[in-house]
């Protein structure tokens, strides 16, 4: 099949049967996670490989709590029974367990005896903003105070006006302890800022999202031929040699983030009124580079990272780049009507269905080796609902609306 020829049978998303399939997959994910997420000690648990609550004693991390609040707010907006109880549970954990009442902000993790890792990280705070915004759209009574608190914290502690992006991390009492600046946390903040804009109508959220995108994509990704840089110093100079945490701050570049930005740029372009001409062109360039350089033509799937020589650095396939590829292909196909994106939409979903979705036990395998067989590390259990759920729902919504707003307004395309 030639990528730029007409795809046989038209677009999958024009078929009611495919849209129903997406909704069933979303339902399966919700069912897998809702039975494992409530914990009587106030934690949000993640499922083990069989869908049971993890009982490994590990602290509850901020991105776990916030993502589940976001996802079950979406479930509530769909009218899913039981979803509100999970949102309540997560919102209470955010306000009473993650929030630092003494110093402000939200700590990275807590355990049975209080704070575990008490650092304040931009990545986690971005997801607090996303959770608050989605909960507000879902009508949660505590969402306004959470949104006001996280907005103030981001504005006064993290945002660096001179650069148009955020600082990365602080100690509990807000002392900076390194000069690192990262695109990953700012990318997720861009998603959250757009959600906050849609929840409130307040333009300052959208303006910040535009400044982050201009810095990271229009300036830095363009300068490196769309091999999106990940790591920077305090002056936002690209640090090509940086080699940090292999999951959150790996050496080299991460094609999944090229795909994620491709989707976010289309959403931002739409929300701004289609006035920023570089955004759709950059989205198309990032997607094209990701599928040409990051996709394994022999076995399928996206390599997790590439070195600066263009060769796979971490050849494992994680679930989330596949999810981001699905979302990016869907939105680019919708705005361009180019069958190239339909071809990739199908190809990426085929890989997910054949290798990542666990039909026997439920959920998605979080990582595969180069042989496409599930691996037990680096992720324990099946820790993430957020990426897989969004891969199912984003294709069912118009490109000019975010998930929570689209669901609240009844724009989901079902059967």
Cα separation of 72 and 87, whole Å? 6
Six token digits for residue 156:
């006064």
Integer CA distances (angstroms), 28 to 39, 51, 73, 285, 379, in order? 21, 11, 16, 34, 21
Strands (E) in 120-265, as ranges, are 120-121, 159-160, 165-166, 169-170, 181-182, 231-232
- Burial of residue 1 (number of CB atoms within 10 Å: 0-12, 13-18, 19+): exposed
In degrees, to the nearest 5, what angle opens at C-alpha 366 toward C-alphas 362 and 131? 85
Catalytic annotation, residues: 257, 387
3-state helix, strand, coil in the chain (%, to 5): 50, 10, 40
Helix H or strand E encompassing 106: none
Cα separation of 217 and 228, whole Å? 7
Cα separation of 318 and 67, whole Å? 18
């Amino acid at each position: 099949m030639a990528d730029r020829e007409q795809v046989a049978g038209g677009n999958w998303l024009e078929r009611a049967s495919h849209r129903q399939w997406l909704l069933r997959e979303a339902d399966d994910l919700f069912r897998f996670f809702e039975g494992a997420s409530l914990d009587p000690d106030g934690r949000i648990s993640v499922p083990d490989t069989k869908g049971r609550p993890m009982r490994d004693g590990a602290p509850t991390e901020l991105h776990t709590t916030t993502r589940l609040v976001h996802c079950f707010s979406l479930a509530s907006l769909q009218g899913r029974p039981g979803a509100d109880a999970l949102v309540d549970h997560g919102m209470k954990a955010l306000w009473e367990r993650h929030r630092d009442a003494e110093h402000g902000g939200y700590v990275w993790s807590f355990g049975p005896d209080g704070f575990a890792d008490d650092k304040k990280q931009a990545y986690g705070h971005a997801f607090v903003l996303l959770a608050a915004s989605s909960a507000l759209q879902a009508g949660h009574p505590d969402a306004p105070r959470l949104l006001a608190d996280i907005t103030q914290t981001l504005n006064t502690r993290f945002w660096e006006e001179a650069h148009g992006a955020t600082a990365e991390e602080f100690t509990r009492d807000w002392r900076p302890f390194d000069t690192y600046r990262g695109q990953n946390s700012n990318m997720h903040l861009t998603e959250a800022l757009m959600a906050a804009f849609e929840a409130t109508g307040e333009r300052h959220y959208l303006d910040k999202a535009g400044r982050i995108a201009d810095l990271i994509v229009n300036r830095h990704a363009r300068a490196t031929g769309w091999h999106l840089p990940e790591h920077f110093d305090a002056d936002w100079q690209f640090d090509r040699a940086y080699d940090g945490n292999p999951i959150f701050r790996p050496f080299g570049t991460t094609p999944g983030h090229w795909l994620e930005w491709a989707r976010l740029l289309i959403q931002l372009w739409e929300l701004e009124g289609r006035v920023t001409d570089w955004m759709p062109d950059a989205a198309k360039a990032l997607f094209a580079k990701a599928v040409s350089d990051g996709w394994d033509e022999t076995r399928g799937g996206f390599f997790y990272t590439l070195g600066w020589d263009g060769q796979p650095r971490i050849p494992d396939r994680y679930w989330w780049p596949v999810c981001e590829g699905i979302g990016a292909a869907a939105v680019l196909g919708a705005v361009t009507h180019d069958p190239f994106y339909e071809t990739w939409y199908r190809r990426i979903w085929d890989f997910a269905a054949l290798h990542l979705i666990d039909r026997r036990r439920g959920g998605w395998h979080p990582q595969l080796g180069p042989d496409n067989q599930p691996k037990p590390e680096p992720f324990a259990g099946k820790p993430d609902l957020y990426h897989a759920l969004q891969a199912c729902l984003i294709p069912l919504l118009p490109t000019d609306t975010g998930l929570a707003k689209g669901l609240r307004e009844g724009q989901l395309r079902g059967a």
